[in-house]
Amino acid sequence: MKTIRLRPGKERSLLRRHPWIFESAIARGGADAGETVRVESDAGEFLAWAAFSPTSKIRARVWSFDQAQRIDASFFIATVSASIRARARFDINSDAFRLVHGESDGLPGLIVDRYGDTLVAQFLSSGAERWKAVLVDALLAATGLSLLYERSDASSRALEGLPEVTGWLRGAGPVGAPVPPVELVLREHDWRLALNIATGHKTGFYLDQRDSRRKFADDTRRLGFERVLNCFCYTGGFTVAALTGGAGHVTSIDSSGPALAQAAANVALNGFDAQRASFLDADVNASLRQFDREGQRFDAIVLDPPKFAPTVAHAERAARAYKDINRLAFKLLAPDGVLFTYSCSGGISADLFHKIVASAGSDAGVDGFITERLGGAPDHPMTLNFPEGEYLKGLVVMRR
Ligand code: SAH
């Protein structure tokens, strides 16, 4: 068994059970990609078993803090089962949800989403890559399913020195046999949404916003939003939620043509009149400025942009980008209008996001009641030991 020895004092975060070991914390030792290493303090005391990542700044990720634990197939079978069992205790009103959320489920680098009978997985660390076959068997055994599609095409794979890979890992059958569908339909709350697990973003859909979409449908019903603007609409989740809540008309903006086509199809799939929805293939920032020039106003606006700040290093530039779109959105709010604004950047804390939105409102000359602070759906859990798990935050701001 290979060992990595930490520099003096660098054991502290591990003693608090934080699962990352940065390159700068290591005094000596190394291993092959994904190999299990014993991590010890400067004094030689056992700290954890971890998977080594030779090229990443996060040089090792912890599998277990228990010295007696063997890191073998039965460890992964037990950890995968525990992750899936936890979902039975979460409040999830959908047939599509996250089964494994990386570090928060004790499986760093592994993301697994379930869409009906199909699993879609991302292997994002050297450790997860090395144990791929074992993890896939464990996932199918624990769920009783047979279809698993791989979407290891996230850019973070490059940091681990891993190539991008996609395709069926299980269930495609022999050459010539019918290929399982990659176009699926999920059901969440009161609506259905079609997606493509091969070409969609991430694993195909943004499951983490499930409960915000329900909240948006409920508020649309309760407050009677007539004119709704859904910015960064992707495949129209918030659009369908608003129409379900009775919105008169929803304008949806995205810069991805395929996402917009899927969004329009999703409006039809739920039986809504196409007249109630319009779709704009455009840059959100430019569209918001144009709407302001035209004097358009909206009763509710959703702002759910992509990750502007993957890490704190990008926070400053991202903060300006967030502030800009929020300021423009505030200007478009009708009297009594409501803004649903989000950041999914790990590098922007909830506190900083609050400050950004506050200063955007102030610049727009708008005050508002913050009626709700929102986070990711419970199947994207954050844990006490891994604060980085809190990436998605949202604010509901009602114009005063
Ligand atoms: N709210 C969506 C998820 C949004 S993901 C849901 O509930 O499913 C972010 C989206 O922003 C992506 O669809 C991406 O295509 C889009 N996007 C990124 N940059 C953009 C820009 N400058 N203007 C418009 N859309 C953009």
Question: 330 CA distance to ligand 1 centroid (A)?
Answer: 19
Tell me the C-alpha to C-alpha distance, in Å, between residue 395 and each of 53, 65, 117, 167. Answer: 37, 36, 33, 37
Residues 114 and 162 in one domain: yes
Please, which pLDDT band fits residue 251 given cuts at 50, 70 and 90? Answer: very high
**The pair of three-digit structure tokens given for residue 86, joined into one six-digit string:** 């936890």
Whether residues 392 and 303 fall in one domain: yes
Please work out whether the CB of residue 349 comes within 6 Å of at least one atom of ligand 1. Answer: no
Cα 150 to Cα 198: distance, rounded to the nearest angstrom:
9
- Give the confidence band of 89 by pLDDT, cuts at 50, 70, 90: very high
Domain boundary among the residues 64, 84, 104 is at 64
Contacts of 150 (CB under 8 A, 6+ apart): 120, 121, 122, 123, 165, 166, 167, 168, 169
CA distance 32 to 30: 7
171 Cα: distance to centroid of ligand 1 (angstroms): 31
pLDDT value for 204: 98
**pLDDT reported for residue 174:** 84
Alpha-carbon distance of 128 to 79, in angstroms, equals 13
Q: What is the residue whose two structure tokens read 């986070």?
A: 375
Residue 185's pLDDT is: 98
In-domain check, residue 194:
no
Q: How far apart are CA 306 and CA 260, in angstroms?
A: 15
pLDDT of residue 312: 79
| Residue 37 shares a structural domain with residue 90 | no
Q: What is the pLDDT of residues 162-220, one digit of tens each?
A: 999 999 999 988 888 889 999 999 999 999 999 999 999 999 999 999 999 999 999 99
pLDDT of residue 315: 85
Residues in the chain: 400
As a whole-number percent, the residues of the chain with pLDDT over 70 amount to 100
Treating both helix axes as pointing N-terminal to C-terminal, what angle do 350-364 and 315-332 enclose, rounded to 10 degrees? 40
Quick one: which H or E segment has residue 196?
strand 191-196
The stretch 282-302 carries a mean pLDDT of: 98
| pLDDT reported for residue 310 | 76
Radius of gyration of the chain (CA): 22
Q: Is the CB of 253 inside a 6 Å radius of any atom of ligand 1?
A: yes
- Residue having the nearest C-alpha atom to atom 3 of ligand 1: 234
Q: Does residue 378 lie in a domain region?
A: yes
- Tokens representing 107? 């499986």
**255 pocket-lining for ligand 1 (C-beta < 6 Å):** yes
CATH number at residue 52: 2.30.130.10
Specify the pairing of strand 96-101 against strand 58-64. Answer: unpaired
CATH code, domain with 164 = 3.30.750.80
Task: Please give the pLDDT value at position 173.
Answer: 81
Q: Are both 357 and 219 inside the same structural domain? A: yes
Say yes or no: 221 and 266 in one domain. Answer: yes
Whether the CB of 102 sits within 6 Å of ligand 1: no
Question: Which residues does residue 6 pair with via DSSP β-bridges, in sequence order?
Answer: 26
pLDDT, residue 291, reads 98
pLDDT at 7: 98
236 & 146 share domain: no
Q: Is 259 in the pocket of ligand 1 (CB under 6 A)?
A: yes
The answer to whether residue 250 is domain-embedded is yes
Q: How far apart are CA 268 and CA 358, in angstroms?
A: 37
231 in the same domain as 311: yes
Domain end position, chosen among 151, 184, 217:
184
Instruction: Tell me, yes or no, whether 309 and 368 share the same domain.
Output: yes
**pLDDT, tens digit, 9 for 90 and up, residues 307-316:** 997 777 888 8
Q: Which of 46, 64, 82 is the last residue of a domain?
A: 64
**Total tally of structural domains belonging to the chain:** 3
Residue 201 belongs to some domain of the structure: no
Structure tokens at 211: 């409960």
Instruction: Kindly list the catalytic residues.
Output: 344
Does ligand 1 have an atom closer than 6 angstroms to the CB of 237? yes
Q: 321 and 390 share a domain?
A: yes
Instruction: Give every strand in the sheet of 20-22, ordered side by side.
Output: 20-22, 58-64, 46-52, 36-40, 2-6, 26-28
* Residue 29 included in any domain: yes
For atom 10 of ligand 1, the residue with the nearest CA is: 232
Please tell me whether the overall predicted TM-score, pTM, comes out greater than 0.95 for this model. Answer: yes
More confidently predicted of 347 and 107? 107
Q: Which helix (H) or strand (E) holds 244?
A: helix 237-244
Q: What mean pLDDT, rounded, does the chain reach?
A: 97
- pLDDT digit string (tens) for 261-279? 999 999 999 999 999 999 9
Residues 87 and 59 in one domain: no
SS3 call for 22: strand
Residue 103 near residue 389 (C-beta atoms within 8 A): yes
Cα 32 to averaged position of ligand 1 atoms, centre (Å): 38
Residue reference for tokens 């919105």: 247
Q: What CATH number corresponds to the domain at position 322?
A: 3.40.50.150
Residue 260 sits in the same domain as residue 148: no
Tell the residue nearest (CA) to atom 15 of ligand 1: 256
Residues 243 and 171 in one domain: no
- From 254, 288, 340, give the residue whose CB has the most ligand 1 atoms within 8 Å, as the site to mutate: 254
Q: Specify the 3-state DSSP secondary structure of 31.
A: coil
Q: Which two tokens stand for residue 149?
A: 């599609």
**Number of the ligand 1 atom closest to the C-alpha atom of 304:** 1
Report the greatest alpha carbon distance in the chain: 70
Q: How far is the centre of ligand 1, averaged over its atoms, from the C-alpha of 322 (Å)?
A: 13
Share of the chain above pLDDT 90, in %: 94
Work out whether strand 249-254 and strand 227-231 pair parallel, antiparallel, or are unpaired.
parallel
Q: Whose CA is nearest to atom 21 of ligand 1?
A: 283
Residue span of the structural domain in which 261 resides = 206-399
Q: Is residue 288 part of a domain?
A: yes
Q: What is the pLDDT of residue 211?
A: 98
